[in-house]
Amino acid sequence: MRATRIAAALDGETVSLAFRQKGRANAALEFAAACRRARLVYTVDLAVAALAASVVRPSSSRLVVDTGDAPSAFLKHVHAPSWKVNSARSMEWYAYNRASAFVVRGPRHEDFLRRQGYAGDVHIIPDGVDLSAFSELDGSNVRRQLGLEGAFTVGIQGHFTWYDSLGGGLGWELIQAMATRPQLGVHAILIGTGPGLERLRELADHLGIQDRIHVVGRIPYDRLGNHLAACDVLLLTLTNDIASQIRTTGKLPTYLAAGRYILASRVGGASDILPEEMLLPYYGAWDLSYPERLGIALGRALSDPFRKQKGEALKALAIGFDYRRVAEQAARVVHGLLGEAD
């Protein structure tokens, strides 16, 4: 969506869009075909296939890397094999030395790039949300379909991973928190796919709360808002390491636009935006004590008579992430670089 929106904002330019739909090798070949005559190559994500393809662009062509991640730092965090970490570092080194400009999602990432030695232009353009898809939300049908009318629901949207080296992944903290506060009767709504879902089900079964886990799978963007609206609280948990500290994450603007009460770890962009009462401390790269604090916070949210109003108030913050603004900012970066090249 980010690439498509930016492309649409590039008035007067001929734009070729290429998306990875196959393996890295096939994608790199397809991307290379698009790069051979390009005056500028704009990669969304610091990804191997896109950067490998950019090698064949004309010598006068500009390269822009739009990313919200630090791949080698993340791989090191999850204890990936050293060859994967070193490969990611090589990819980053290439980008730092060849990119005409970086587009990042927040100021922490710009600071990180400077510490890595990148001396080129850095533009801060946040993650976006299509506000038109979140204009009129009603989660009642989703609640009815899931049999959750009147229940206290907590949702997470994303790609559910699991890292054996850490002992968990996305959603682990919610399952553990539900077990620490069974009296709250929390029901989890998990929106998305990924290998971690089966592990979450196993964990919930082990803790005796499997009947309160509801997996709805991948939801099209135009229906995502109603699924988020079926949740009383939305969770945004980032671990407290460099890979997470530099991130905004695409979930945050989406959650804001949904107008739900949010509970987030005090890490990254969320700590700059959300009210203090919605932020929880997260200690270190993997905080085993976090589910206990989350359980307490869920109890506070359940009993808060103004929870819905506080969630609705977050919609005003989503305006700064409107994809129309985001795309226009990125288009100005592209036009500026093309003007320099001319």
Confidence (pLDDT) at 155:
98
Confidence (pLDDT) at 133:
94
In the chain, the N- to C-terminal Cα span, in Å, equals 29
Q: What CA–CA distance (Å, rounded) separates 5 from 76?
A: 32
Q: What CA–CA distance (Å, rounded) separates 176 from 182?
A: 10
Confidence (pLDDT) at 264:
97
pLDDT tens readout for residues 128-176: 999 999 999 999 999 999 999 999 999 999 999 999 999 999 999 999 9
Q: Would you say residue 284 has pLDDT above 80? A: yes
Mean pLDDT over 28-49 rounds to 90
Q: Provide the residue ranges of all domains of the chain, joining segments of one domain with +.
A: 2-128+322-341, 131-320
Confidence (pLDDT) at 247:
79
Q: Are 116 and 96 in contact (CB under 8 A)?
A: yes
For 162, phi then psi, to 5°, come to -150, 130
Residue 271 neighbours by CB distance under 10 Å: 16
pLDDT tens readout for residues 197-253: 999 999 999 999 999 999 999 999 999 999 999 999 999 999 999 989 987 778 999
For 262, phi then psi, to 5°, come to -115, 140
CATH topology for 131-320?
Answer: Rossmann fold (3.40.50)
Contacts of 50 (CB under 8 A, 6+ apart): 20, 27, 28, 31, 41, 43, 44
Confidence (pLDDT) at 342:
65
Pick the closest to residue 232 from 253, 215, 255 (CA basis). 255
Q: What is 144-169 written as a DSSP string?
A: HHHT-TT-EEEEEES----BTTTTB-
Residue 127 neighbours by CB distance under 10 Å: 20
For 215, phi then psi, to 5°, come to -100, 120
Confidence (pLDDT) at 110:
95
Q: Assign 39 a pLDDT band (cuts: 50, 70, 90).
A: very high
Per the prediction, the chain carries an average pLDDT of 94
Confidence (pLDDT) at 341:
66
Helix (H/G/I), strand (E/B), else coil: 215? strand
Q: What whole-number percentage of the chain has pLDDT above 90?
A: 86
> What is the number of alpha carbons within 13 Å of residue 320 lying toward its C-beta?
13
- Taking domain 2-128+322-341, whether its CATH number is 3.40.50.170 is answered by no
Q: Assign 27 a pLDDT band (cuts: 50, 70, 90).
A: confident
Fold identical between 2-128+322-341 and 131-320? yes
pLDDT tens readout for residues 75-130: 999 999 999 999 999 999 999 999 999 999 999 999 999 999 999 999 999 999 99
Q: Would you say residue 22 has pLDDT above 70? A: yes
Confidence (pLDDT) at 29:
87
Environment class of residue 144 by beta-carbon count within 10 Å: exposed (0-12), middle (13-18) or buried (19+)? exposed
